[in-house]
Structure 1
Amino acid sequence: MDNTVTWFEVATDDPAGVEQFYGDLFGWTFAPADGPIDYRTISYPGGGQPAGGLYNTEGRFPNHALFHVQVPDVAAACARSESLGGKVLFQEIGGEGPGTDFAYVSDTSGNLFGIFHQRS
């Protein structure tokens, strides 16, 4: 399914900015989780239940995230990411025929993630 991954976590010292970035890029929504820390569950459009979490590090340790999101068009997702303040660090787009288009991108907080599309 496009724009989804399995459970993952994004840790950042700027949860509001990162929440806006992923919300605008993939349509993800965020909800506060119960507990003593600032942790927000992440849900995909039409996903039915949370699939990940956003953790506020409050600057206590480095920002981090590493996950891969399936997208319908890697080049378009890279362009959209850059327009939202992200950076494309690497991309390999093979064109026609079977194979995988792939990119490493960083979000507005510097977190690295992958995007891919499996061509048939």
Structure 2
Amino acid sequence: MDNTVTWFEVATDDPEGAQAFYGGLFGWTFARDEGALDYRLINYPGGERPAGGLFNTKGEFPAHAIFHVEVADVEATCAKSESLGGKVITKVIDDGAGTDFAYLRDMSGSVFGIFHRR
């Protein structure tokens, strides 16, 4: 559903350590995504479908834990964010599996993500 928080992400250059930490702490389970990125889908105990992802940054992005909002158009949302005083941190990224995403910063400096499944 557009303009709704539908995903969260934990990004780190130590995905094995993060997987052990969050799995041990919350009972989350992880499964590799089939896309081009080193991405692991996160399921809650008893969850019917993945609710988040663990992203291996390989040191190319800062570590973070953020929410993602599903949008109709990533590029248009980036432009609108900038017109409202936000900042686009990354250009639109194609994950190779049918999803475009970007990272933004709001006017206070908080980072969040947006995405669209094609």
Compute the TM-score of the two structures, normalised by the length of structure 1.
Answer: 0.49
Report the equivalent of 2:93: none
1:38 aligned residue: 38
Q: Distance in 2 between matches of 1:52 and 1:66?
A: 10
Per the alignment, residue 22 of structure 2 pairs with 22
Cα distance in 2, alignment partners of residues 66 and 34 from structure 1: 22
* Counterpart Cα distance in 2 of 1:50 and 1:29: 9
Greater share of strand: 2
The residue type equivalent to 2:49 in the other structure is: Q
Residue identity in the other structure for 1:16: E
Alpha-carbon deviation of 1:66? 3.2
Return the offset for 1:32.
0.2
RMSD: 1.6
Deviations 1:67-101 (A, max 9, x none): 6xxxxxxxxxxxxxxxxxxxxxxxxxxxxxxxxxx
Gaps of at least 5 residues in structure 2 are 68-118
4+ aligned runs moved over 4 Å, structure 1: none
Tell me the amino acid that sits aligned with residue 22 of structure 1. Answer: Y
Deviation at 1:6, TM superposition (A): 5.2
Return the offset for 1:62: 0.7
User: Aligned partners of 2:58 and 2:28: how far apart in 1?
Assistant: 22
Give matches, 1:98-109, under 5 Å.
Answer: none
TM-score by length of 2: 0.50
**Matched residue, 1:57:** 57
Q: How many angstroms apart in 2 are the aligned matches of 1:62 and 1:43?
A: 23
| % same residue | 70
Q: Give the aligned partner of residue 74 of structure 1.
A: none
Aligned residue in 2 for 1:12: 12
Does the residue aligned with 2:19 lie in a helix, a strand or coil?
helix
